[in-house]
Structure 1
Amino acid sequence: MADRDFSSPGVRDLLRLADLPLFTPERAELNSHKLVGFDSRDIRARPFNLLRSSLSKKLKESGFRLVGLTSATPAAGKSYLSLNLASSLARVAEQPVFLVDLDIRRASVAEEIGLTLDRGIESFLEGEADDLAALGRHVDGSELGIFPAVRRKRNTAELLASERFAQMIDIFRNRSDAAIILFDLPPAFASDDAMISLELLDGYVLVVDSGKTTRKHVEDVLAVLHPTPCVGTILNRYSGGFADSYGYGYGGPDYGKYYDPS
């Protein structure tokens, strides 16, 4: 990336959270999609707080900043986890956290958070917009910036393999004020979009759907996405252990009291 010059009159010198249009999510939308990462007092946010600590440590050790979230197959809860993890990270990060929707065929991040838009990052990739800040949203009351996408059914691989995509990644990597940039990627086996995207990212987190994702799925994803490093895995929809004596998870008897309003 260092040998490319992506400077152009239409691109800001620095992509700052403060320059993104402000967006205030409706509480009803957050509740309906179970987006609990914004609320530190919500007991359901505890697993995401633990995830953010583990991920932050690994990113600091590796020096990674640009990390994708993917899964083997669709409907593994990837976008839900991306939003909750990003919002949880933003609550403790010294610098802003950005979340970018690269699952352009599905483009669900905007819908999950209750955002209606006419254009998103696909407009930048298609050459219809040059100002990334105008395409993002600053979530009111947080240090989180979201860069949603509007759904495109065709030519997504071409968009992600383009010079415009490389330019966008260069902006996020070298000309943004975000400490961590998470990318909601397509499922690894749905198309080659995730594989193409990861060529320019630092690593990825694999979302494993308990009871559906097989060991063979995991092995195949690791092989297909090699040599991009797998930062870690998240086991989603795991039902065992959440009501044990330690109260680890949703509504346990001991930890639950810690989150009660004082």
Structure 2
Amino acid sequence: MVSKYEQSAPGARPEHAPADTLDAAAGPVPATCVPVANAAAAAPQVAEARAAYGQDTPAAMAGPAAGAALDPALESALRGAAEPGAAAPAKYCEINLARLQQLGMVTHDGGRTSVAEDFRIIKRPLLRNVRGGGSVGPIKHGNLIVVTSALPGEGKTYCAVNLAMSIAMEMDITVLLVDADVARPSVLKVLGLGAQPGLMDLLLSDKLELSDVIMKTNVATLSILPAGRSNKHATELLASRTMSALLADIASRYADRIVIFDSPPLLITSEANVLAAQMGQVVLVVEAETTTQHAVKEALRQIEGCAHVNLIYNKTRAFPGGDYYGYYD
């Protein structure tokens, strides 16, 4: 069953930064194909998006093969080995919260804004599914939530970061934000942070532990797992037993942890479909007045095996006369 949250994500309104800029980041993209069983009507929009995403660029095939040994310099940096020129492990990072607030995003000190209220409404049913509130018991891996979209530029990274920030405000919950858009990672860019080793490095090396690549932040209840280096076998890595074991470990190790995955678009790469199949909950971001019904239907068809799918209608126009009819001062 698909439930629809007709909540806007106000960061895309004219008075804030456009949400599509929060999904834009340079990076190689592995070659993949899109299932086209009933996607003919969406083909022109998908083709244009694939070209913009760099999906058909031969240079996208860069990256080590699955199972390749981890680069010694990178491994020594992660392990903190005392080698000349080796960097210290990236275990902590400072997020510029004032910058995020200026971008119109959710922050702990940002006050009772319209965007904060939107994501309070959006997160509540997701948390109920985790805790088993109401007549439905807790769902399997309900604390693993993937945020995706049909096409690039719809604001999925904007929504993933805001959702993570909003859930991190809960009194008894910690949040791990995972940049799983390994083709074009953008979470660190949105947060104003430099590239770091992460998910792909973890899947490629049996010498690394999750704790080696997770970054704690100045938001005490929020940690980040970067995407790491790109790899042409990203889909296979995300579908591997190693990834399944990692997800099971993440889901069960900490009872109070919610994990938010920023995923690639469903109609552009195959990684998103692989990720969604392993999640307890899926959040599909739809750009208002831009994404066609055909594209949305094809995206939903690709995740029809997922039992808990929710939609965010993003980039809607503000109500005339002010947000929430002047509720805020």
TM above 0.5, one fold?
A: yes
Instruction: Name stretches of at least 5 consecutive residues in structure 2 with no aligned partner.
Output: 1-89
Q: How big is the shift at 1:46?
A: 2.3
Q: 2:266 and 2:320 mapped to 1: Cα distance?
A: 32
SS of alignment partner, residue 67 of structure 1: strand
Larger radius of gyration: 2
SS of alignment partner, residue 256 of structure 1: coil
Map of 1:143 onto structure 2: 221
Give the partner amino acid of 2:152: P
TM-score (norm 2): 0.64
Higher relative contact order (CA 8 A, sep 6+): 2
Map of 1:30 onto structure 2: 100
Matched, 1:120 2:193: no
Map of 1:133 onto structure 2: 211
Map of 2:76 onto structure 1: none
**Considering only aligned residues, what root-mean-square deviation do their CA atoms show, in Å?**
2.3
Q: How big is the shift at 1:150?
A: 2.7
Matched, 1:67 2:145: yes
Indicate if the aligned counterparts of 1:210 and 1:235 stay in contact, CA closer than 8 A.
yes
Map of 2:283 onto structure 1: 205
Q: 1:178 and 1:126 mapped to 2: Cα distance?
A: 28
Map of 2:116 onto structure 1: 45
Map of 1:166 onto structure 2: 244
Out of 248, 258, 273, the position equivalent to 1:180 is 258
Q: How big is the shift at 1:34?
A: 3.8
Out of 213, 221, 225, the position equivalent to 2:303 is 225
**Pair 37,58 (structure 1): closer, same or farther in 2 beyond 3 Å:** farther
Give the partner amino acid of 1:30: L
Give the partner amino acid of 1:81: C
SS of alignment partner, residue 223 of structure 2: strand
What is the number of residues matched between the two proteins?
232
Give the partner amino acid of 1:50: I
Indicate if the aligned counterparts of 1:33 and 1:113 stay in contact, CA closer than 8 A.
no
Q: How big is the shift at 1:23?
A: 2.1
Q: 1:40 and 1:129 mapped to 2: Cα distance?
A: 40
Give the partner amino acid of 1:52: K
**Pair 45,200 (structure 1): closer, same or farther in 2 beyond 3 Å:** same
Give the partner amino acid of 2:93: F
Q: 2:207 and 2:194 mapped to 1: Cα distance?
A: 18
1:109-158 deviation line (CA, Å, top 9, x unaligned): 11111122331111101116522122112221331111111351522112
Indicate if the aligned counterparts of 1:127 and 1:164 stay in contact, CA closer than 8 A.
no
**Pair 35,142 (structure 1): closer, same or farther in 2 beyond 3 Å:** farther
Instruction: Name stretches of at least 5 consecutive residues in structure 1 with no aligned partner.
Output: 1-19, 258-262
Out of 73, 85, 96, the position equivalent to 2:174 is 96
Indicate if the aligned counterparts of 1:205 and 1:232 stay in contact, CA closer than 8 A.
yes
Q: 1:163 and 1:210 mapped to 2: Cα distance?
A: 37
Instruction: Give me the identity figure in percent.
Output: 28
Give the partner amino acid of 1:256: Y
Which stretch shows the higher mean deviation, 128-137 or 97-106? 128-137
Give the partner amino acid of 1:100: V
Map of 1:111 onto structure 2: 189
Q: 2:253 and 2:226 mapped to 1: Cα distance?
A: 19
Q: 2:104 and 2:124 mapped to 1: Cα distance?
A: 20
Give the partner amino acid of 1:51: I
Q: How big is the shift at 1:175?
A: 1.7
Q: 1:129 and 1:75 mapped to 2: Cα distance?
A: 36
